[in-house]
Amino acid sequence: MARFIERSREATILQCAGAVDDVEIVASRFAVGNDAAIDLATGQRVALALCAAGDAAEQTRWAARCDEQHTMLRRSGGRLVDYGAVGAAQRFEAWTVGASATPDPIEAPTLDACGIVLVRRPAVAAVAELFEATDDCRPRIVSLCGPTGAGKTIAIGELARAARLNGMVPVSTAVLTSPIAAALRGRTLFVIEDDSRGRGWPALVNWAMYSPRPHIILFAGNEDIPAGHGLVLDRVSADALVDAVRPQELSPHLRQCVRRAAERAGGLPGRFAAALWRLSADAACGRRRTSVVSGFSRTATTRGVRAAEQPAAYGADEDPPLVPAAEAPESRSWPAPGELAGLRRRMDAAIRLLADGRHAPGERTLRQAVGGLSRRGDWAHAGEGAIALAESLLKRGRVRDAQAALDSGRDYCTRAARDEALVAAATLAGHAWIDLARLDEAENVIAAALAAAAAGGYRGHAADASLAMAR
């Protein structure tokens, strides 16, 4: 069941706009396009409302009302996800789909009509301090752990809002694999890994290569991670849970029921809400287990004429460029049997030519082999060849050409889920930035590679990254 949920969420998020120009990022958190809006921090669809800001008095009243609704949980699950200003003349409200922008006042003849005010957590405040401006160019890594029902989903929502208010873009690792991610290049990201699929480290390395900035990555799960700073969501006292229920004026019978639910919760807010409203812990915390993004659609890839690779044209003026992963065909009915094996042998032969110092024929053959492998969807070997090509180009001082090869290799390794190869590519990218005297970018990429290598147990690559950092 968990695997089905993960696939459903990923499939719907990947149905995003193929043309990035059609997607607008609103308030550094929401992607709007094709009459739909999604929350980048979760990948879930939201109802986004924009209106005029109004005068100062109106803004004060509106901010007070939104703050009250944002910090209130209700049994229906509908709540105000985020709110704030858009420029100087507009303001926005983002609600969960199906929620009312003007919820009914809380009246409590029954427990189902009660609301729960969010309890401030010290661990959340500690993570939020990372969003303050810093001169550190390295990515920062932190984990937030706690058992089921500890309030991780609500904590992530609060941290996403805090990141946005500090100029960062909160984004889920699932969203980073969609075409929407291209619209975020050049922005500092707060990357959120909360589905325990282990894609947080590849996302950090991939994005450090794509846009080297001091990103922050948050791992939220039941256990701590082997690298980074770990924080635990402490349990909440029963008295604090009881005080969080609204309205506070309850009948003796209802107050006794609230007290009993708080004592049974064991200090876990999610379990307390579930007991109070007789829901599952996920539903009580407002977690949507499947994505409902339907307004975005991927533009169909144009499949051109598939031509076999031509023999090497010695003396050509320009080297053939590597095929971008996004332009490679997706069909599995092609290639013909044995064709991939031939291309792999050709790639191995080209690498041997480079090792023997025959750079011109080796590079030309390697480019053709990598292009053929990528067009046939063999991402793993295409990534291996692209990294070998970039390493050869770096040794010969062709840094810009090496960066272009590494950019293609990054795409190939990401598609093949070859995390170890991605770390190797990031280390080479760091060397390239050093050769260009761009030391901040180099330190950023190498630090991400070093952390991912340590977390993944890639000792050889960790040593290579450490030597690159010492350089």
DSSP 15: S
Q: Where are the beta strands (DSSP E) in 173-290?
A: 189-193, 216-221, 229-232, 245-246
CA–CA separation, 98 and 79 (whole Å): 9
The pLDDT, as a whole number, for residue 314 is 38
Strand order in the sheet with 140-145: 169-172, 189-193, 216-221, 140-145, 229-232
CB proximity list for 61: less than 8 A, separation 6 or greater: none
CA–CA separation, 43 and 199 (whole Å): 15
The pLDDT, as a whole number, for residue 287 is 55
- The 3-class SS string of 44-98 reads CEEEEEEEECCCHHHHHHHHHHHHHHHCEEECCCCCEEEEEEECCCEEEEEEECC
Q: What is the full per-residue pLDDT of the chain (471 aa) written as tens digits?
A: 444 344 444 444 444 444 455 788 999 999 998 778 999 999 899 999 999 988 989 999 999 999 999 999 888 767 899 999 998 889 999 998 865 555 555 554 678 788 899 999 999 999 999 998 777 888 999 999 999 999 999 999 999 999 999 999 999 988 888 888 888 988 999 999 986 556 788 888 999 999 999 999 999 988 877 767 889 999 999 999 999 998 888 888 888 999 999 999 999 999 999 888 875 455 555 554 444 343 344 333 333 333 333 444 434 445 666 656 655 555 455 667 688 999 999 999 999 999 999 999 999 999 999 999 999 999 999 999 999 999 999 999 999 999 999 999 999 999 998 999 999 999 999 999 999 999 999 999 999 999 999 888 899 999 999 999 998
CA–CA separation, 99 and 91 (whole Å): 18
Pair 394, 435: CB distance under 8 Å:
yes
Per the DSSP assignment, residues forming a β-bridge with 72 are 117
DSSP 113: G
Q: Minimal CA–CA distance to 295: which of 11, 3, 16, 6?
A: 16
The pLDDT, as a whole number, for residue 285 is 55
The pLDDT, as a whole number, for residue 21 is 58
Pair 446, 468: CB distance under 8 Å:
yes
The pLDDT, as a whole number, for residue 160 is 96
CA–CA separation, 214 and 237 (whole Å): 36
CA–CA separation, 291 and 12 (whole Å): 6
CA–CA separation, 181 and 226 (whole Å): 27
Q: Tell me the one-letter amino acid at 37.
A: A
Cβ-count burial 159-175 (b if 16+ within 10 Å, e if not): bbbbbbeeebbbbbbbb
Report helix angle 252-264 to 269-277, nearest 10: 140
Cβ-count burial 356-366 (b if 16+ within 10 Å, e if not): eeeeeebbbbb
Backbone phi, psi, residue 7, to 5°: -65, -40
Residue 36 parent element (H or E): strand 36-39
Report helix angle 439-456 to 459-470, nearest 10: 160
Class of domain 337-470 as given by CATH: mainly alpha
Q: How far is CA 356 from the centre of its chain?
A: 42
